[in-house]
Amino acid sequence: MSEQLLDMTNPRLEAPYDRRALEALMGRFGSPLVMVDCDVVRAQFHALQRALPGVDLHYALKPLPERCVVTALKDIGGFFDLATTGEVELVRRAGVDPRRCIHTHPIKRDGDIRDAIRFGVRTFVVDNPDELGKFVRHRARAEVLLRVSFRNPAAAADLSRKFGCDPESVPAMLDLARRLGVKVVGLSFHVGSQSPDSQMHVQAIEACNELIVAAREAGHPLSVLDIGGGFPVEYQTPQMPIDDFCAPIRTALAALPRGLRLIAEPGRFIVAPAGTSLSTVVGRALRDGVWWFYLDDGLYGSYNGQMYDHADYVIRPLRDDGSRVKAVLAGPTCDSIDVVREGIELPLLEIGDVIVGRTMGAYTSSSATDFNFIRRAKVVAVNEFLASAHDE
Ligand SMILES: *Cc1c(COP(=O)(O)O)cnc(C)c1O
């Protein structure tokens, strides 16, 4: 069992799986798969906890809303960030304490609010007067954070374009909330996913610091600051270690008024490195001197993150005999846009060969489709399975 998974150019991406174990996994569960390693989920959570001491980490479910992830995080003291009734249901079934959850979708139907309140969630997020108005009837059982927008053109996904109120409108929102009798307990922001550095987080924390001080002077005792997600992981481009990324954030947080409850909403950082995509070559053709290898997973499946999430995954064949041909990796649908990678060199693959995609836990299976009736990858928690495969 000593044969390592892949000849990885980046040793930090290496995982303790070997070929036989992966083949056994696919023999059992089929193809395509996204295998999730909860040891990595726990390690990522602990790494971010060490980098942000004193900050409660609420895992945002949307990048990988899987029971195994929720349970793993629940067991090590994690908190949760919910945005939809489906996510409320998932944590409820996993036995999560609702007091460890917040609901952060800035735009909600009344039914979404009711479902979350019925579960026991108390803290919600709003960013405009109409949304504040929705909480008048729930004001005895709910309190809100005001989401403030700080534009971040550098992030892969600039979430402040769609959500958040201008910092300048915070005092008026606080006054309106008071007139409506809705309790505002703090501020939140999300600077955008896969932030290249922490400057946006720092600027946003500093701006919120001023807003919180001004609010307190105006008689609004805000006690929570939620610094959102955006913590980056390494795809093909090297990324600074999370402790270095968070060092300026720690400094900015230390300058806040004492006694605030600090929250972060990491999604990608917790789960991206825990997920590995396994797909299979189901056909091949030599077209104009280039080998096209057709996979059973593609842009409409796990690799949708290359379009929607702008992610650039490390992709390798499981078996590599050292030969190289000009190659294209294509997805399984009949759509010509469904090409995973082109202009690359690969060994001359055969039908049945396995392709491995690294760091594919976040925004992959969760946003995949069954377009063309091609079933999306099955998500498999591998820890116990691999442990038993190693013992054989
Ligand atoms: C998607 C989302 C997150 C998670 O963001 P990451 O960049 O994946 O860490 C956190 N909070 C909210 C409100 C989100 O919509």
Give pLDDT tens digits for 346-362: 999 999 999 999 999 99
For ligand 1, pick from 149, 158, 193 the residue to mutate: most ligand atoms within 8 Å of CB.
Answer: 193
| pTM listed for this prediction | 0.93
- DSSP structural state of residue 141: T
Given the structure tokens 């299979």, which residue do they identify?
280
Distance 14 CA to ligand 1 centre (A): 26
Which residues are CB-contacts of 47 (< 8 A; sequence separation ≥ 6)?
Answer: 242, 243
Percent of the chain topping pLDDT 90 = 86
Task: Name the average pLDDT for the chain.
Answer: 92
Q: Please check whether residue 253 is in contact with residue 54, taking contact to mean a CB–CB distance below 8 angstroms.
A: yes
Distance 19 CA to ligand 1 centre (A): 34
For the CA of 268, the closest atom of ligand 1 is 8
Q: Which CATH architecture has domain 39-271?
A: Alpha-Beta Barrel (3.20)
Percent of the chain topping pLDDT 70 = 91
Give pLDDT tens digits for 46-65: 999 999 999 999 999 999 99
Question: Does the annotation count 68 as an active-site position?
Answer: no
Q: Where are the domains of the chain?
A: 4-36+275-391, 39-271
Considering only CA atoms, which residue is closest to atom 14 of ligand 1? Answer: 60
Considering only CA atoms, which residue is closest to atom 13 of ligand 1? Answer: 104
Give pLDDT tens digits for 257-305: 999 999 999 999 999 999 999 999 999 999 999 999 999 999 999 999 9
Query: Predicted confidence band at 161 (pLDDT cuts at 50, 70, 90)?
Result: confident
For ligand 1, pick from 84, 190, 263 the residue to mutate: most ligand atoms within 8 Å of CB.
Answer: 190
Average pLDDT over residues 90-95: 98
For the CA of 230, the closest atom of ligand 1 is 7
Give pLDDT tens digits for 164-174: 999 999 999 99
Q: Please check whether residue 90 is in contact with residue 69, taking contact to mean a CB–CB distance below 8 angstroms.
A: no
For the CA of 193, the closest atom of ligand 1 is 7
Phi, psi (degrees; rounded to nearest 5) at 303 = -80, 10
Give pLDDT tens digits for 232-250: 999 999 999 999 999 999 9
For ligand 1, pick from 145, 265, 308 the residue to mutate: most ligand atoms within 8 Å of CB.
Answer: 265
Phi, psi (degrees; rounded to nearest 5) at 55 = -105, 125
**Which candidate in 38, 208, 246, 334 is catalytic?**
334
SS3 state of residue 327:
strand
Distance 49 CA to ligand 1 centre (A): 17
Average pLDDT over residues 367-383: 95
Distance 246 CA to ligand 1 centre (A): 17
For the CA of 63, the closest atom of ligand 1 is 8
Taking the C-alpha atoms of residue 361 and residue 68, their distance in angstroms, rounded to an integer, is: 12
Distance 391 CA to ligand 1 centre (A): 38
* pLDDT at 386 (0 to 100): 65
For the CA of 194, the closest atom of ligand 1 is 7
- DSSP structural state of residue 256: S
Distance 222 CA to ligand 1 centre (A): 22
CATH code for residues 4-36+275-391: 2.40.37.10
| One fold for 4-36+275-391 and 39-271 | no
* pLDDT at 31 (0 to 100): 98
User: How do beta strands 275-287 and 354-357 pair?
Assistant: antiparallel
| Residues within 6 Å of ligand 1 by CB | 60, 62-63, 81, 104, 190, 193, 228-231, 265-269
